[in-house]
């Protein structure tokens, strides 16, 4: 299947939505673990309603269903680390850590699909790594937040590769539904450990404020039901690496919005912006280099 201009516009729109989730996650008053729990419930419910309304299919083979539910575990880890990163640091830091997803995808996708690792993708992935080193090298105060953000990038690359393999057999809506269910179950099983080791006063905060429901609902419907379904569908036409590379624009959208919403709290040192600029340069380099004729791209003297 050949990608169209409409597909690229869709991709960048969902990248904007994903960038917006970091802001919404910071605005929610309950802790990130409880927030993820409610987000998965609302997203699964919304997805089930949508499948029913469009007369879609709830059916997947037993083997695919197991794979999708287990992928939901990875999705849960991704969200927990992503929003946890934003809570222990700030949204800008979590977004930059997440941008490493293209670096991980450059290795994971070829291995999973038994293809040759592309030199271009590895080089661009290393550019991302250099940007992170610059951020880390100058007494960066949010090291834990950036580490959690990097884990969220790794898990995003993993579940994206898995989804791209399943998307040819199972509807994107069906995949999203069962991944949300799998993620919800994962958080439920994590609750006892979280309560003992991490929760404030060893107690869960399961009563969201009124505005929390607005933020969580927006994340669940716009950024999960819609965005995840579209991304899975786009994986039929675009490589996982390219999708993950485009997702590196997420920090651009997210940081700009965060500066507008949170102001001085989001202002960082020069090394953060230099490192971020290096990371995001890969977004522009990839389609530019890929557009060159192959003979010209690899021309040797």
- For 95-113, what is each residue's pLDDT tens digit? 888 878 877 888 898 888 8
Give Cβ neighbours of residue 298 (< 8 Å, ≥ 6 apart).
none
pTM metric for this prediction: 0.83
What distance in Å separates the CA atoms of residue 226 and residue 172, rounded to the nearest whole number? Answer: 10
Lowest mean per-residue pLDDT among 44-53, 90-99, 122-131, 262-271: 262-271
pLDDT digits (tens, 9 = 90+) for 204-236: 999 999 999 999 999 999 988 898 888 888 888
Per-residue tokens: 69: 């539910």
Please report the pLDDT score of residue 229 as a whole number.
Answer: 85
Q: Which two tokens stand for residue 162?
A: 């898995």
Residue 261 has pLDDT above 60, yes or no: yes
Residue 272 CB partners (closer than 8 Å, separation 6+): 92, 96, 135, 140
Confidence of residue 176 (pLDDT cuts 50, 70, 90): very high
CB atoms within 10 A of CB 287: 12
Q: Please, are residues 223 and 17 in contact by the beta-carbon 8 Å criterion?
A: yes
DSSP string, 34-64: HHHHHHHHHHHHHHHHHHHHTT------HHH
- Assign 269 to helix, strand or coil: coil
- For the chain, give every domain's residue range: 5-297
Q: How confident is the model at residue 15 (pLDDT cuts 50, 70, 90)?
A: confident
């Amino acid at each position: 299947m050949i990608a169209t201009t409409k597909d690229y516009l869709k991709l960048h729109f969902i990248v904007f939505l994903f960038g917006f989730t970091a802001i919404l996650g910071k605005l929610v008053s309950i802790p990130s673990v409880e927030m993820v729990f409610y987000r998965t419930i609302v997203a699964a419910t919304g997805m089930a309603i949508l499948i029913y309304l469009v007369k879609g299919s709830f059916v997947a083979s037993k083997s695919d269903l197991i794979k999708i539910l287990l992928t939901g575990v990875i999705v849960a880890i991704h969200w927990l680390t992503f929003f946890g990163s934003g809570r222990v640091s700030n949204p800008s830091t979590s977004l930059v850590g997440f941008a490493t997803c293209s670096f991980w995808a450059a290795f994971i996708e070829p291995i999973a699909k038994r293809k040759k690792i592309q030199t271009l993708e590895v080089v661009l992935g290393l550019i991302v790594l250099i940007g992170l080193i610059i951020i880390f090298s100058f007494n960066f105060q949010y090291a834990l937040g950036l580490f959690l953000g990097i884990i969220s990038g790794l898990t995003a690359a993993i579940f994206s590769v898995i989804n791209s393999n399943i998307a040819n057999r199972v509807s994107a809506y069906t995949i999203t539904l069962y991944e949300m269910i799998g993620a919800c179950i994962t958080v439920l099983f994590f609750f006892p450990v979280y309560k003992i080791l991490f929760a404030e006063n060893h107690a869960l905060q399961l009563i969201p404020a009124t505005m929390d429901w607005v933020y969580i609902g927006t994340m669940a419907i716009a950024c999960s039901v819609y965005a995840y379904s579209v991304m899975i569908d786009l994986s039929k036409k675009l490589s996982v690496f390219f999708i993950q590379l485009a997702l590196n624009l997420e920090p651009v959208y997210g940081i700009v919005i965060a500066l507008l919403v949170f102001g001085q709290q989001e202002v960082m040192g020069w090394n953060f912006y230099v490192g971020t600029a290096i990371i995001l340069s890969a977004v522009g380099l990839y389609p530019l280099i890929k557009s060159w004729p192959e003979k010209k791209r690899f021309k040797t003297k």
